[in-house]
Structure 1
Amino acid sequence: MDIYDAAARYMSEGKPVIILAGKEYGSGSSRDWAAKGPYLQGVKAVIAESFERIHRSNLIGMGIIPLQFLDGQNADSLGLTGKEQFTIDLPVDIKPRQHLTVKLNDGRQFEVHCRFDTEVELTYFRHGGILHYMIRKLIAH
């Protein structure tokens, strides 16, 4: 199935999508569009081995959660195929650089490093991204 068709199907079924990625996710991308595309396809989180610095920030700006495998782990080492169903519980009072537990529908679970690195990034995310944050801020004035 094409990516577009799969994304449309998951969105129509109300199923959020995550991306499993390797090292330096977002490197060589066209910057902000590399985050807008996944947002428009219903991606809610990216679990990567590492992120290109600006791309990680752009994901947050689009309301996408950047999660990083712990050192020495990746999708292959954890036996992830992408066919699993993932549950990621994001605490309401999450702090920058907090570890989270990702649960799978087959009973497995693993820890990830949540890559909200600053309080400002958490503020943007809590508003659904930087655009929603700025609109709310403008309306309030």
Structure 2
Amino acid sequence: MRKAAALFLVGLSPFLLGWLLSLGMTTIFAQMGAWFYIVVGLAVLTLWMVVSGTFGFKGSKRGMALTMLCINLPALVVLVLLGVQELSLHAYWDNAVGQLTQFFYLPLLRLGAIVAMWTGQVFWFYFGAFLLLVLSSWLGCRAKDPVKK
């Protein structure tokens, strides 16, 4: 139970990273090009992979699924909230929830845009970023403890 809670808390870390990146975008990172945001996104995905592999549940497919659920549950909830805002309301909420949902995927938005560049909606960029998070946590689980049939 303690391990699941720790993975869930790590899953909340993009809120802080996105907030810090948002502050930096208006000050010290203002002159950085697209490559900077690609590097930031790759760093977040690497962190996601390392944490999933290091602190995840070991030994079975069920343990890998539980690891992926615990670490990616906040990302899924945020994606649903973003879907409501983008696809249903066509506007972001004008409160803390609206800002926090945007902060969550901010470090991965450039990579998500690369994955879903064929679309014209920002929601699909968020969805691409979510898929990258799930893929990196899966790779972390597989690299640390390969599941045998």
Q: TM-score, normalised by structure 2?
A: 0.29
More strand per residue: 1 or 2?
1
| Larger relative contact order (CA 8 Å, sep ≥ 6) | 2
Q: TM-score, normalised by structure 1?
A: 0.30
